[in-house]
Amino acid sequence: MPRYSWLAAAVAVVVTAATGQAQTPPQTYQDQLNQYQQQQQQYQDQRQNYDARRDEYQDRLDQYEYDRAHPAWWWRDAWVHATPQWYVDFHGGDLAGMEVDERDGGHVGHVMGLEPGPDGRIEHVRILLHHDRVTWVDADDVRFDRGDNIVFVDVSRDQLYADSRDRYEHGL
């Protein structure tokens, strides 16, 4: 071993020991593990941010395409022709899976199920919103267009989300 490299290594050990920077292998491992975990958390945060932006972009794109296919006058007509008290004489087919829209045609989700009252009439409609949110809507706030098979809600999107909960929170 050349004399100078041995001397440089000895000086480095002395300097490291003098400054208190010497680490044992478990300490070095723990530091590296902590750094790795921080990098993983940063990656996960960036990934969630990316996914949220992608979902928002897709929602906007879907809404744009939907708006192009259904002009405002079409929605006004569909809303007017939808039956406000559809649940009074509702017999037969299940609405599960049907699209749910706002009065102006904005898509809010799909019907998950119906809740009948003691007299057998539908009292509430369970709606699966975007982002795996679920809410119950009073049947009086729902209109059903039998001709086009569209379910309308007369509740704002903000109110639907304010009243919603995570789909998997209660096994829905």
Alpha helices (H) along the chain: 3-19, 25-69, 72-81, 157-162
Model confidence at 172, pLDDT cuts 50, 70, 90, reads: low
pLDDT > 70: percent of the chain: 78
Tokens 């022709």 belong to residue: 81
User: Which two three-digit tokens encode residue 147?
Assistant: 């001709």
| pLDDT one-digit tens code per residue, 88-101 | 666 556 678 888 98
Q: What is the pLDDT of residue 15?
A: 46
Mean pLDDT of 126-146: 89
Tokens 């829905």 belong to residue: 172
User: Which two three-digit tokens encode residue 28?
Assistant: 């070095």
Class of domain 72-166: alpha beta
Phi, psi of 75 (to 5 degrees): -65, -40
